[in-house]
Amino acid sequence: MTMRLIGPVYLIGGQDYNRVYVDWPANDPNVYLIDSGDTFVMVDCGCGESLSGILSNVEQMEFEVRDISHLLLTHEHFPHAAAAAAVQKMGIEVLASEAAADAVRSGDLRTAAFWYNRQFPSYEGPLTELEDGQHIEVGRLSLKALALPGHSPGSMGYELVVDDCRMLFCGDVVRSPLLDSFRGRPDYDRECYVSSLKTLLEEPPEVLYPGHGPFCLSHGRTWIQEELKKVLSYGPRGVS
Ligand SMILES: [Zn+2]
């Protein structure tokens, strides 16, 4: 089952597509596929068990799995990045922020795998580190990496402009239903988070593709403002 969203963007995985039951009530995030006109770019890759289901979703379209060339990780948390090693072994280039790449390579507490009573799968292949503002050119696409630390140190958004419409793959930075429970985490940084959200509000995208839950197909600014309000409503050390 796949869903075409806007322009070249498809939904190929997520908690209601390839349900994975883990010990903690969490699941695959939204997994996106972007058609560059040449090859395909995946955004996030799920917990691992669901990868074959995600790839079979790709095959059910007119697309070939072997044409997927890049995987962009929005951050280092287990549901988003656990399948990255398996994806890399398929010959797909994996890209992430420096902090997320470091966490994925080490598989340590920063991946939050312990929340799910899992080991983070060992990652030994190459992993391309992205800098804030860096452009990723694939086929006719130009994606811009935006460092958005706060939810986690390695959180990074990916901006895509299609027909003058600015879209952002924002991971768990906006609209994560799990966000409240993450506020007491050691790597949650409220100050950074507020700053990232304020930066986004300077030139907000119209469309938001979050890591969890429904998409914001318009009024991105409103959803970012809502998130900022929520973050500010908590104290600096999380839920009090
Ligand atoms: Zn997260």
Residues with Cβ within 8 Å of residue 50, at least 6 apart in sequence: 13, 18, 19, 20, 28, 83
Distance of CA 172 from the midpoint of ligand 1 (Å) = 5
Q: Would residue 64 count as lying in a domain? A: yes
Q: Would residue 101 count as lying in a domain? A: yes
Instruction: State residue 128's pLDDT score.
Output: 98
Q: Which pLDDT band holds residue 26 (cuts at 50, 70, 90)?
A: low
Q: Would residue 160 count as lying in a domain? A: yes
Q: Which two tokens stand for residue 205?
A: 């995208």
Spatial distance between the Cα atoms of 231 and 225, rounded to a whole number of angstroms: 10
Q: Which two tokens stand for residue 196?
A: 């990232």
The one-letter amino acid code at 47 reads C
155 close to 100: Cβ distance less than 8 angstroms: yes
Spatial distance between the Cα atoms of 2 and 207, rounded to a whole number of angstroms: 19
Q: Which of 232, 68, 1, 39 is nearest to 141 (CA)?
A: 39
Distance of CA 81 from the midpoint of ligand 1 (Å) = 10
Range from 6-15, 38-47, 153-162 carrying the lowest mean pLDDT: 6-15
Spatial distance between the Cα atoms of 233 and 240, rounded to a whole number of angstroms: 11
Distance of CA 38 from the midpoint of ligand 1 (Å) = 30
Has residue 165 got a pLDDT over 90? yes
Distance of CA 212 from the midpoint of ligand 1 (Å) = 9
Q: Would residue 237 count as lying in a domain? A: no
Has residue 238 got a pLDDT over 50? no
CATH number at residue 208: 3.60.15.10
Q: Which domain holds residue 15?
A: 3-232
Q: Would residue 31 count as lying in a domain? A: yes
Q: Would residue 239 count as lying in a domain? A: no
Has residue 239 got a pLDDT over 50? no
pLDDT tens digit string along 120-135? 999 999 999 999 999 9
Total domain count, the chain:
1
Instruction: State residue 153's pLDDT score.
Output: 96
Q: Would residue 28 count as lying in a domain? A: yes
Instruction: State residue 240's pLDDT score.
Output: 35
Please report which helix (H) or strand (E) contains residue 197, including its range.
helix 190-202
Backbone angles phi, psi at 70, to 5 degrees: -135, 145
Q: Would residue 206 count as lying in a domain? A: yes
Instruction: State residue 115's pLDDT score.
Output: 81
Distance of CA 187 from the midpoint of ligand 1 (Å) = 11
Distance of CA 162 from the midpoint of ligand 1 (Å) = 26
Spatial distance between the Cα atoms of 3 and 19, rounded to a whole number of angstroms: 16
